Structure 1
Amino acid sequence: MFRERGRVLSGASSKNGRMTSDQQPTTGHDPYLWLEDVTGESALDWVRQHNAVTEGQLTDNERFDRLQSDVREILDTDARIPYVRRRGEFLYNFWRDSTHVRGLWRRTTFDQYVTDDPEWDVLVDLDALAEAEGENWVWKGTQLLRPHRNRALISLSRGGADAAVVREFDIDKREFLAPEGENPGFYLPEAKTDIDWIDIDTVYVGTDIGPGSLTDSGYPRLAQRWKRGTPLSSAETVYEGQATDVAISASHDPTPGFERDFVTRSVDFYNSQHFEVRPDGELVLVDVPEDAGISIHHEWLLIRTKSVWAVEDTEYPTGALLAIRYDDFLAGSRALTSIFEPDAHSSLEHYTWTRDHLILVVLTDVRTTLRILTPGENGWEDRPFEGLPELTSIEILDTDPDVSNEYFVNSSGYTSPATLLHGVIGETEPTALKQAPSFFDAEGITTEQFFATSADGTQVPYFVVRSPRSEPGPTLLYGYGGFEISLTPSYSGSLGRAWLTQGGTYVVANIRGGGEYGPGWHTQVLKAGRHKVHEDFAAVARDLVDRGITTPDLLAAQGGSNGGLLMGIMLTKYPELFGAIVCQVPLLDMRRFHLLLAGASWMAEYGDPDVPEEWAFISEYSPYQNIDAAASYPPILIATSTRDDRVHPAHARKMAAKLEEVGKPVLYFENIEGGHGGAADNAQLAFKTALTYEFLWQKLA
């Protein structure tokens, strides 16, 4: 199956983070360029000094100890749901707890899984592997060979970075295959690699093989077909992209009767070209709009529009899902069937095939509903997905579309712990298989939805989770606002125990830039429209005060990655609205973001700062360039990771240094490991989480 690729702020770059001759600033003077040297001794000394100051202020008290202990208990508990993916006859799971810090890759049968204490077959003990090899391995994922599933390509990262080592694993023998010898295994050294099985002796691969093999964004520029036992240098090039492309990738669909090969050329973050690779090497373009997402399942091609698409005499709106038989489309037919169209309140969040049915997840004012669509001789039958919990967010976790109509879905809410449900469409109703425990007492805690009016009149929804009270109280406002990523209600034991039950109010802003109302909710804020994201978030902050939920002194804001950029903007553009800010793994220097790690791939979102017309609007909000020594700023905690090879840690470092230089209240913490997630294991995550809540309680209480 060829599936639409998710577009998230996710990474690919093999650049090492050190400055090179082409990475100099094109304008202005930056005294903190030396902090871009990720592992330079001077930079790391600066990091250690600032970490010590932050730890001294936040960790030497009983409340921090309690927060850290509570979060660690939640992360390590065996009572968590072991989420699984069906692959053939087995259900696979990756599991970490206090005993298995790095984790276990394991599997079981369905009959065992439904019991209270399943018997797990451990395939890889990552703690044992790391100790034996003297490496700080962090699990990054695996690909099973289809349909046999007796081999896996396993990606292992050193310290949690996106760059990973890829190694072939023999599941029957429970061993990694050596890259040399009589039957050598596939092996790739640390890089940002794209790889997919073709058959047991062949893979598609894109990786760093030297100069010219990567795009300017650091993704693979070449898609190659690589045979077992041959040097990578002899791999056949299937497609060669341009240096200015974001990425090139190739994949194989082994579905019996529908075997096909594809190449995707990502021209930028939101525009791609898709080709079928014929056995003779011919490339056949799947001629859809470049900003549309596509998926191919059996005989069906699905097209999700990201902008209005006029086809012959019909105009399809932004956010529609269209269906046509794949072979008919390639033959020139445009007899498309619209199987979903959005309205003012509803949008398609995502969709997933089972063998015979299509499951749609629809958001209506950020509330989840599911539908089942079934193609037949008389068109597409559309019916509601019944038997699922109400007033919760539901996501499709897994199907095995090669084999059956089975599904696993997860249901949760801000105060409702997760429930894992299972069923088979047309055979069994949804049944709860596993229930997560309640990690905090939610009695009396309510979830409400309100709407704030942004500067241009747009109604912006947000959720408020709180215990009843008659006066304003400490409130944490979370936002992201980019890359068409929707923020839907979900359960967090750490948030509940460390914040909600202590009297804090939690707010999630569904601002533009996300996907809550379809692609248009996102595309209207690209590049020159970016200010609408900031205005939406500020409008929610003001609305919270107007409703008497909080006051500016009691209101904190939190965001990470693209949301970290939002926090930098709140600090420098709207400081009067907040009493504290938590800014995590952020972009902040928008003059140079495109020169650092994967930053070039995000120019479709923000613009190109080397183009004067685009720098004109980027410069209006770039936090690093907009620090005002005369302004009064709320205290800010900036946190990142040395091993984040997606968003360069220099963004956080330089911002903290410049704020410190002009005497603003800033604390800085950088985890030496952890990648873009900020933590490599549960202990690090618990520490980082406790730092955040201790900072908030100190500044707001």
Structure 2
Amino acid sequence: MPAAPKAHKAPFLKTAILSVGIVATMGAAHAEDAPQMKDAADPFAWLEAVDARQSLDWVRAQNAKTETALAATPQFKQLEGDIRGILDSNAKIPGVEKIGAYYYNFWKDAQHQRGLWRRTTLDEYRKAEPTWETVLDIDALNETEQRADGEKWVWHGASCLKPAYERCLIALSPGGSDADVTREFDLTTKTWVKDGFYRAQAKGGLGWIDQDRVYVYTDFGAGSMTPSGYPRIVKEWKRGTPMSAATTVYEGQADDMYIAAFHDDTPGFERDFANRTLAFYNDELYLRGTDGKLAKIDAPNSANKSVHKEWLLLELRDPYQAGGKTYASGSLIATKFDDFMAGKREFTTLFAPSERTSLSSYAWTKSHLVLNVLEDVKNRISVLTPAPLSDSKGEWKREPFVGAPTLGTVSVGPVDEDESDAVWMTATDYLTPTTLAIAQLQPGMSGKQPEVLKTNPVFFDGSNNVVEQHFATSKDGTKVPYFLVKPKNLKRDGKAPTLLYGYGGFEISLTPGYSGSVGKGWLEKGGVYVVANIRGGGEYGPRWHQAALKANRHKAYEDFAAVAQDLIANKITSTKHLGVQGGSNGGLLTGNMLTQYPDLFGAVVVQVPLLDMKRYSHLLAGASWMAEYGDPDTADWEFIQTFSPYHLFDAKRTYPPVIFMTSTKDDRVHPGHARKMAAKMLEAGKDVTYYENIEGGHGGSANNAQAAHMSALAYTFLWEKLK
């Protein structure tokens, strides 16, 4: 990230859908023959012209230098091949989603670079080698539908209409950008619906209401998009009519962030909602009546609001006073939805945080609510059962989830929340390949172990490694957890090549996970791998996130530096052998490590980053992150400039070697950030490497080949600098 805004799907706000749309950031500057832009204050502003010939010529020249310096050796080719083999492995767990009677999977491998959407039955899925039925082949689609611009389609997902599951709305992105198109697909014939619903390339989406109606939020023309480049208007669109005839459901204000609507198709509890996102952590939810009128759900804007069957759940980011009680920030509270809309304010507390715990997630099944709690960045799962609908004052029953590991990362989600109490459970850690199990939630679940269905292969030799958790002390005395993956017999002589990874933003937690690429590219060579759980993330809930917002952003960087200092003090490594890596908001993090703490590190990897914090809110989706960083066009600039790497750079200082990596097709975080920073440092004669993938979007790559190449470049750069 930085994160895309959430577009919400019924029955509750559970799915972060990739935001989508066209944003003309620089107007004519995107044209192939755009002239060089002159800016006395910023001599590298011309590199913000994403597709201008001059910009791309600069990019290709830098890419060629990087390929020559890093990618020409047999060792690089071997590593790239190893990572590609991991990504293409047919032995990986094919994650599935139940849609009707079938279990669907989107799959990429060496033969299917862009991927297959395919399906099978649960009985088949239990087999070591299931038989799959292809539903849509994206590679074949790219062959038959060659775009005039030469871009190839990248899968963005499907939404299928209950209960028949005969029609789907499929999103496809050109080249991997957030901007995509939506097309209607017939699951029975496995063909596109002639004259079906179609949304042209833009940020936004389509969502089913019924067979003949959808909600559409997209680029309707001048004035219909927010300053962040997302939809400002949502409409109801009827089949057989032009989109221009769609009726407006809700129109946001000019400075809002994202407007959407969705239909809750839970049997017996069908409802419609409109959602107004003013900014991150600030949204309003409205119930749409059969007459089209909207009734606001009068809960705090900062709370995550979800409606499921008869229940309203509020996940609080700030303290909330209701019914004569105060509920703590970080709590999950529940009440009957109809009672709340009638003015009653009596809640049941389902979770309240402690100093060591936070709510990671929650998920409904047909009869239960599964809570996933982080305790010092370790998952703890419990199952809650609400009282029957007829019992107005009944207590929620709470039981432990049986069979979940106590270490590593555990996630639990419903198989079919409308039809069953079955759940998927995945478990993993840095040295243990991911397992996928299925479990049936029943009263008195003690002793009923989950059924393991799939296990990922061992992609690297981690037998000589061990995982530890430590705590560093930050500048203000805060204890900051971090995970350390190291050889069991590591000599504490300060010579181990060590890679420190972090993010620290948007309330996103970094929990342990098995990565074949990290294993092959780093651990198997004898390197030490460290993940820092710094403030700005969500490891300890809203308080951990809010501690590093805006003027307090420096606390995230102090936390990260404290972890680096702890590694050096304990002689795990030393400055010349310590590298850092981060992407997006993590790229801003490592950009600040580069400019504020250059004496701590021997090499720095900065991926799809924000770096020019004076310009960020004017580039692509940047305006949507002002709740996180502040508004640089106001007095906020006084503190924002203290963490703007582009402005902190001093040509007179000595900096460690750095590689900047980004994507031309990233339409969330503008590639101009990385381009300009690299150019500025190169002009000053610094040790700078640059690589920009022409495809890929914010994820950096559009297929496994590109992903393997990008990873191999980063690990090769780091190993050469730190060994």
> If the TM-score is normalised by the length of the shorter chain, which range does it land in?
over 0.9
Identify the residue that residue 87 of structure 1 maps to in structure 2: 99
Match of 1:140 among 136, 156, 160: 156
For residues 224-243 of structure 1, the aligned pairs below 5 Å read 224-243=235-254
Match of 1:2 among 11, 15, 23: 11
> Distance in 2 between the 1:349 and 1:88 partners?
28
SS class of match (1:352): strand
> Distance in 2 between the 1:659 and 1:229 partners?
56
Identify the residue that residue 54 of structure 2 maps to in structure 1: 42
The alignment status of 1:644 with 2:669, answered yes or no, reads no
Identify the residue that residue 480 of structure 1 maps to in structure 2: 503
Residue 13 of structure 1, CA deviation: 4.8
Residue 88 of structure 1, CA deviation: 2.2
Bigger mean CA deviation after superposition, 161-170 or 26-35: 26-35
Match of 1:469 among 464, 487, 490: 490
Identify the residue that residue 428 of structure 2 maps to in structure 1: 412
> Distance in 1 between the 2:253 and 2:40 partners?
30
Say whether the 8 Å CA contact 1:583–1:639 is kept in structure 2: yes
For residues 206-605 of structure 1, the aligned pairs below 5 Å read 206-376=217-387, 377=391, 378-426=394-442, 429-467=449-487, 468-470=489-491, 471-472=493-494, 473-605=496-628
TM-score for both structures, normalised by structure 1: 0.97
> Distance in 2 between the 1:305 and 1:312 partners?
16
Residue 616 of structure 1, CA deviation: 0.2
> Distance in 2 between the 1:457 and 1:660 partners?
38
Say whether the 8 Å CA contact 2:21–2:204 is kept in structure 1: no
Identify the residue that residue 3 of structure 2 maps to in structure 1: none
* Equivalences, count: 692
Say whether the 8 Å CA contact 2:434–2:514 is kept in structure 1: yes
What letter matches 1:290 in structure 2? Answer: N
Residue 399 of structure 1, CA deviation: 3.1
Identify the residue that residue 655 of structure 2 maps to in structure 1: 633
Residue 479 of structure 1, CA deviation: 0.4
> Distance in 1 between the 2:552 and 2:406 partners?
36
> Distance in 2 between the 1:369 and 1:158 partners?
40
Say whether the 8 Å CA contact 1:559–1:584 is kept in structure 2: yes
Identify the residue that residue 696 of structure 1 maps to in structure 2: 718
> Distance in 1 between the 2:229 and 2:38 partners?
21
SS class of match (2:396): strand
The alignment status of 1:661 with 2:709, answered yes or no, reads no
> Distance in 1 between the 2:28 and 2:300 partners?
37
SS class of match (2:677): helix
Residue deviations 1:76-106, cap 9 Å, x none?
1100000001122111100000011111001
Residue 151 of structure 1, CA deviation: 0.6
Identity, % of aligned positions: 52
The alignment status of 1:678 with 2:689, answered yes or no, reads no
Say whether the 8 Å CA contact 1:13–1:598 is kept in structure 2: no
Residue 18 of structure 1, CA deviation: 2.2
Say whether the 8 Å CA contact 2:534–2:559 is kept in structure 1: yes
Structure 1 residues 54, 397: closer, same or farther in 2, change over 3 A?
A: farther
Residue 390 of structure 1, CA deviation: 3.0
Residue deviations 1:20-52, cap 9 Å, x none?
79xx99997011111111100000000000000
TM-score for both structures, normalised by structure 2: 0.94
> Distance in 2 between the 1:278 and 1:172 partners?
33
> Distance in 1 between the 2:205 and 2:540 partners?
31
Identify the residue that residue 25 of structure 2 maps to in structure 1: 17
> Distance in 2 between the 1:524 and 1:195 partners?
36
Identify the residue that residue 109 of structure 1 maps to in structure 2: 121
Residue 630 of structure 1, CA deviation: 0.8
> Distance in 1 between the 2:468 and 2:697 partners?
34
Structure 1 residues 161, 492: closer, same or farther in 2, change over 3 A?
A: same
What letter matches 1:195 in structure 2? Answer: L
Which ranges of 4 or more aligned residues in structure 1 deviate by more than 3 Å?
5-8, 10-13, 24-28
SS class of match (2:346): coil
> Distance in 2 between the 1:456 and 1:3 partners?
39
Residue deviations 1:213-246, cap 9 Å, x none?
1111111100100011110000000000012000
The alignment status of 1:620 with 2:628, answered yes or no, reads no
Identify the residue that residue 120 of structure 1 maps to in structure 2: 132
Say whether the 8 Å CA contact 2:21–2:218 is kept in structure 1: no
> Distance in 2 between the 1:19 and 1:693 partners?
37
Residue 665 of structure 1, CA deviation: 0.7
SS class of match (2:343): coil
Identify the residue that residue 5 of structure 2 maps to in structure 1: none
SS class of match (2:643): coil
Structure 1 residues 397, 45: closer, same or farther in 2, change over 3 A?
A: farther
> Distance in 1 between the 2:128 and 2:594 partners?
49
> Distance in 2 between the 1:367 and 1:619 partners?
35
> Distance in 2 between the 1:87 and 1:12 partners?
24
Say whether the 8 Å CA contact 1:19–1:36 is kept in structure 2: no
Residue 294 of structure 1, CA deviation: 1.2
SS class of match (2:114): coil
Structure 1 residues 25, 315: closer, same or farther in 2, change over 3 A?
A: farther
Structure 2: runs of 5+ lacking an equivalent: 1-9, 30-35
SS class of match (2:557): helix
SS class of match (1:429): coil
